[in-house]
Structure 1
Amino acid sequence: MIISVKSSSQMTFEDLRGLRVEGYIRDSKLDQRDGFGSETQRHNEERFAEAYGLALGSRWYTEFVSGRSVDKREEFQQLLEDAALDLFDVLLVDHTCRFGRNQAECIRYKDELQQLGKIVIFVSQGIISGSDRDFLTERINETLDEQYSRNLSRYVIDGLSEKASQGHAIGSPPLGYRTEKHHSGRGAWCVADPDSMPALLAALRGYSSGIHSFRTLAQELNVQGYRTATGKPSTESSISTILNNRFYEGKVVYHRGQADEQVIDGAHQVPEEVHDLWDQCQLVRESRNRPGQPSPRSKDQRIYPLTGALVCDEGGEPFHGVGTQRKNGLELRMFHSWRRCEMRPRSASVSRIEEEFVQRVLGCLVLDDDWNEAVLHLLAAEGTEPDNSAEIRRIDAAITNLKKQHLWGAVADQEFKDGFRDLQRQRRTLAPRPSTQTALDLERAAKMLRNLPRLWRHPGITAEQRRDLAREIFEEVRFRDGRLTAVRPHSQYAPLFAYDVWSTGVGGECST
C-alpha cells in the first residue's frame, strides 16, 4: 500500500487504522539508564498499535548499536530494503532518539521513507514524522538528541583518557590476549589468552626469521589455520597491526599519531618470548627500511598465472595463491579456503595446475582455416532479437499479483522475498542482448587464441603477463579433484571455442 506524500502531512492517528505496521528498536547499555530498554520500547509500540487498530507485524527490527551513524546498523538498513519492497506501511519507533542521534541522517532517511510512501511514528512523543502539526517539535527533539550524543562523547573521551593513564589498553584486546573482569564486576584488564597466543607467536616468529613479507606471512598463517583476534584470515593489514602495536612491548599508546600522543607503561604482563620476538621484528623492519635493501620477495614470485580465473568446480568459489617457505625454497600453491566446500584436496601446486592448463587447454586450441565462414554463418543464423514485450508484461503482472497476495496474508514474508527476487531475475534476462560480434572482432579474438600457446610458453613472458592473458580470455577455469574440469571463455571468445570443440569432436584428451 502506498500512502501519498501530501496526505501524510495532514494525517492523524485515526487515519492509520488497519495499515500494516512494523516496530524498530535500537538500544545500548547507556540508554538503558534513561528508560529506553528494548522491552520498554517494544511495550510502548505494541500498546500504540493496539490503541489505534494497526496491523502489527512480527519482524521487530532490533539492534544494539550507537545511533550516531547508520553505517553499522544492519537492522536499520534491512527496514529500508523492506520499505522499498513494500512490506509495511507504517514504522513505529518509541522515541526520536531511537531512530538516530545524527540530525542530518535522521532527516535524510525519514525523507527517503516518506518518498516510498511510508509513515514514521514516534509513539512516546505522539509525533507523526513530516506532519505539519509536529514539524517544529520533531526538529527540536532531533537537535536535543544529537546534543545529548555529543555530550556523551565528551564524557566517554574523558573516561578513556583516565583509563589510559592507568596503563590499561583502549578497545578490544589484541591478538594473544583476552579481557578478564574482576569477580566484583567492577574493573577489567588484559591477560594472556592461551587459545590465541599460538597465532601471535607464529606471526612474530615468522616475521623475525627475515624470510617473509607482510603478504607472504599472512598467507602462511592462513594455510596453517591461524586466525586474527576477530577470527578472520590474516591480511597484510593485520600483520602490520601486530608489528606496530607497542602493547607487545609493554606500553599503552593513547591518541597515537596525534599532537597529544601519550606513551604509558602498561598494567598488563607481556611474556618474555613475546617481548623478545617483537623487538627482533622491529630490527628486521628497520633493516628493510634502509636505502638499497632488497625486498624479501621479488614481485614475480607473488603473482599466480590463473588468479582471478581459477574457481572450484563444486561451488564456483575462487582460488588464491599462497607462497609457503620450505627447506628447498618457496613453494607456490593455489588454495581454496571456502569452508562449506567439501572438495579435497583444497590446494594444489601452481606448477601442476599450469601443466594441466598447458596440456588440456592450450594444447587443444586449434583453429583451422574454415573457422571464419563457419562462425559467421552460425551467428547470422541466430536472426534478430525476439520480441519479449509480452513476456515482460506477464512478469510485471505476476509481480503485482504477488504483492497483493502478500498484502492479504496469503503469502509468507520469506516466500514473497524469494518470489519477488526470482521474478526480477527473469525480467532482467529478457533485456536485449549486446549486438552481434563483427567479423573484425572475431578476427582479433582468433588471432589472440592462435598466439596464446606460443605466448604462454615464451621464455621472456612474465607471470604477471600470463595472468593477464588468462583473465583476458577466460571468465572461469574450473578445478576439482586435482585436475582442471572445464573452462568458460569470455563472450567474445565463446563462438571460437564452440567451433573448436565442434571441429575436433567432443572427447579424448582435449575435452574439458
Structure 2
Amino acid sequence: MKKIAAAYIRVSTHMQEELSPDAQLRCIRDWGNVHGYYIPDEYIFIDNGISGRKAKKRHDFLRMIGLAKTKPASPFEAILLWKFNRFARNQEESIVYKSMLRKKCNVDVISTTQQTTKDIYGDLIERIIEWTDEFYSIQLGEDVFRGMTENALRGNFQASPAFGYKVEKGLGLVIVEDQANIVRMIFNLYANTRMGFYEIARHLNRLGYKTKKGGAFEARAIRYIIQNPIYKGYLRWNYANGTTHVVNDESEWIIVKSPLVPIIVSEELWDRANERLKNEYRPKNGKPVTKHRHWLSGLVKCSSCGASLSTSVQYRHDRTYINFQCYKYLKGKCIVSHGISEKKLVPLVLNVLKEDMSKSYIECERIEKVVENQQDILDVQLKRLATRETRIKEAYLNGIDSLAEYKANKEDIQKEREFLLQQSQNHSDEENKSSDLPGKIRGVYDILISDQCSKDEKQAAIRSIVKKIVFDKENKTLDFYYYIKED
C-alpha cells in the first residue's frame, strides 16, 4: 500500500544550476514510485522565481505547512524534495520547520537526491548540507550587491528607468520626450509657483496626462519625481553600509553624476525645487506638519468618491488648527473638495447624534459579534469536506484503502456535513433590532462632550455604534450609518 506524500518544488530568483519545475516533479515522482509514495495533484506545491531565504515570501510553502498541521492528522506522510536546498536556504528556518513537521505532525522531509540515514550521522549530514546551502546563498547575495554597488560608483545605469526615460538596445538610456515634458512642467510648477504636490497632481490629471503605467498622478509620485536626481544627470543607489548621502533621515544613498544619463532639467532648477521641499517639510517649532489622529478619523467619508476624510494639523501662533479633507482629493484623484475644519464638523456630528437619541426608531445594520461571516465559514468547511471526500475516493481507487475503510470514512464525512448544516441553521439571520439604539447613542454622546475623556476613548465610543458618516459638503449634510452588534 502506497503512502501519500506532498511534493515541494522551488525555482530561485537568480541563475543557478537547478532543474525546472517540471523536471523536479518528474524526479520526485520517479523516486516516489520506487519507494512506495503516491503524490496527488492537489499536494504539489510550487514557488516559482522566489528565493528560499525567507519562508514568509513563499506562499505555496506556507500553504503546504498549513495543510501538514491539519488536525487530527496531516493529509500526507512526507514532503518530497529534489534537493534539501529547495526546502530552505536559511538553516534556522529549515531546522524550525523540519522539527515541527517531524515531531508534531509526523511528516518526514525527504530529499530524493541527497539521501541520509535515520540516525545521528544522518542528522549531522543534513545539517552540513543546510549550512553549505545557506553559506552559498549569503555569499551569492554579497557578490551581487558588491557588483551593483561598484556599477553604481562607475555611473552605470542598473534599474528600471524612471518616468521620462526608456532603455533602447545599443543606445542605453534615452529620453521619452512626451514624458520628459511632463517632468519639466512638474519642476517648473513646483519651483516657480506656490502649487504643492496635490495641486500639481490634480492639474496633470485634469490635462489628461498619465503615469508610465497609465494611471492617474498622485501627490507621492510628484514628490518622488522632484526628489529623484536622475533628471539632472545623477544616478542614485541605495547603499545600506555606506555614509555618502542621506535622504529623509532614513536611507543612505550613493549619488554620482553619470555621462550615461541624458539631462531633462537643469541642475539649478532641480536644486531650487528641492530647496523649497526641504524648507516646507522641515518641522516647525519642533512640531512637524503631519497627520493628526482625531476621534472622527476614518469614520467620515467623502460623498463624491467614498474615500475617508484624512486629518491634518497646523500650528500657527501657538494655536492648533485641525482640518479634514477627502484623502483621494489630496492625492489628486477626486475632483470635489470636501474640506472642513474640526470646529465646524464636530458640532454637526454632535447635533445629529442629539437628534437621533430622541427618536423611537432608527434604521441600522445588524453585525454579528464574530469577525467572519457565518456563511463564509460554512462554505469553507463544506469545501474541505468535499476535498477529503475526493481524497478518500482516490485512496480507494489506488488500492491504498479497502472498501470497508472507504465506506467508514465516507460515513464519517457525511455525519460531519450534517452537523455543520444543522449548526448553520441555528445561526439563521434575525430581524434588525434598533429599539435600544437611542439609549446607546445617548451614552456615546455623553462621552463625546466630556472633557474628561481622551480622544481614544471618544473614538472607541462612537465606533461602537457608527459604521461610517458620509459628508456632503455641497448640501451640508451628514448621513450616519449605525449598526448594532449581536449580544
What is the TM-score of this pair, normalised by structure 1? 0.58
- Residue of structure 1 in register with 2:482 after alignment: 488
For 2:88 and 2:52, the matched residues in 1 are separated by 4
- Residue of structure 1 in register with 2:115 after alignment: 126
For 1:347 and 1:291, the matched residues in 2 are separated by 29
Amino acid at match of 1:408: I
- Residue of structure 1 in register with 2:60 after alignment: 75
- Residue of structure 2 in register with 1:327 after alignment: none
* CA distance 1:448–1:229, change in 2 (3 Å): same
Gaps of 5+ in 2: 245-253, 313-322, 363-377, 396-412, 428-435
For 1:242 and 1:397, the matched residues in 2 are separated by 49
- Residue of structure 2 in register with 1:475 after alignment: 467
How far off is 1:274 after superposition? 6.8
- Residue of structure 2 in register with 1:138 after alignment: 126
For 2:144 and 2:151, the matched residues in 1 are separated by 10
Find the partner of 2:13 among 9, 28, 52. 28
Asked whether the equivalents of residues 333 and 347 of structure 1 are also in contact (C-alpha less than 8 Å), the reply is: no
* Residue 172, structure 1, aligned to residue 150, structure 2: no
* Residue 264, structure 1, aligned to residue 252, structure 2: no
Asked whether the equivalents of residues 447 and 461 of structure 2 are also in contact (C-alpha less than 8 Å), the reply is: no
Amino acid at match of 2:174: V
How far off is 1:109 after superposition? 2.1
* CA distance 1:448–1:56, change in 2 (3 Å): closer
Asked whether the equivalents of residues 354 and 445 of structure 2 are also in contact (C-alpha less than 8 Å), the reply is: no
For 1:166 and 1:204, the matched residues in 2 are separated by 27
SS in 1 for 2:15: helix
1:187-206 CA-partner distances (Å, limit 9, x unpaired) = x9443356865775565455
* Residue 154, structure 1, aligned to residue 142, structure 2: yes
For 1:204 and 1:87, the matched residues in 2 are separated by 60
* CA distance 1:468–1:143, change in 2 (3 Å): closer
* CA distance 1:102–1:231, change in 2 (3 Å): farther
1:80-133 CA-partner distances (Å, limit 9, x unpaired) = 3343445544322211122222111211222233333332221121358x8756
For 1:225 and 1:450, the matched residues in 2 are separated by 49
- Residues 63-462 of structure 1 correspond to what in structure 2 (within 5 A)? 63-85=48-70, 86=74, 88-114=76-102, 115-127=104-116, 134-182=122-170, 189-193=172-176, 197=180, 200=183, 204-205=187-188, 207-209=190-192, 211=194, 241-254=224-237, 256=239, 258-259=241-242, 261=244, 263-273=255-265, 277-288=269-280, 307-310=297-300, 318-321=307-310, 332-333=325-326, 335=328, 348-350=336-338, 358=348, 362=352, 365-368=355-358, 404-409=388-393, 446-449=442-445
- Residue of structure 1 in register with 2:374 after alignment: none
For 2:95 and 2:394, the matched residues in 1 are separated by 35
* CA distance 1:167–1:112, change in 2 (3 Å): same
1:215-258 CA-partner distances (Å, limit 9, x unpaired) = 77778878988887788887776665444432233122455475
- Aligned-pair Cα RMSD in Å: 5.8
How far off is 1:363 after superposition? 7.4
For 2:112 and 2:335, the matched residues in 1 are separated by 57
Asked whether the equivalents of residues 335 and 348 of structure 1 are also in contact (C-alpha less than 8 Å), the reply is: no
How far off is 1:487 after superposition? 0.4
1:461-494 CA-partner distances (Å, limit 9, x unpaired) = xx999989865752223689x9876602465xx9
Amino acid at match of 1:57: D
For 1:403 and 1:221, the matched residues in 2 are separated by 52
SS in 2 for 1:134: helix
For 1:161 and 1:150, the matched residues in 2 are separated by 16
Amino acid at match of 2:58: R
Amino acid at match of 1:72: K
For 1:288 and 1:359, the matched residues in 2 are separated by 33
How far off is 1:145 after superposition? 0.5
How far off is 1:170 after superposition? 4.1
Amino acid at match of 2:49: F
* CA distance 1:271–1:112, change in 2 (3 Å): same
Gaps of 5+ in 1: 1-14, 183-187, 324-329, 338-344, 376-393, 431-438, 457-462, 496-512
Amino acid at match of 2:277: R
How far off is 1:141 after superposition? 0.4
SS in 2 for 1:19: strand
Asked whether the equivalents of residues 246 and 252 of structure 1 are also in contact (C-alpha less than 8 Å), the reply is: yes
For 1:312 and 1:402, the matched residues in 2 are separated by 44
How far off is 1:144 after superposition? 0.8
Amino acid at match of 2:481: V
Amino acid at match of 2:229: R
- Residue of structure 2 in register with 1:62 after alignment: 47
Asked whether the equivalents of residues 92 and 122 of structure 1 are also in contact (C-alpha less than 8 Å), the reply is: yes
For 1:401 and 1:141, the matched residues in 2 are separated by 39
How far off is 1:362 after superposition? 0.9
SS in 2 for 1:168: coil
How far off is 1:25 after superposition? 2.2
For 1:466 and 1:40, the matched residues in 2 are separated by 61
Asked whether the equivalents of residues 232 and 265 of structure 2 are also in contact (C-alpha less than 8 Å), the reply is: no
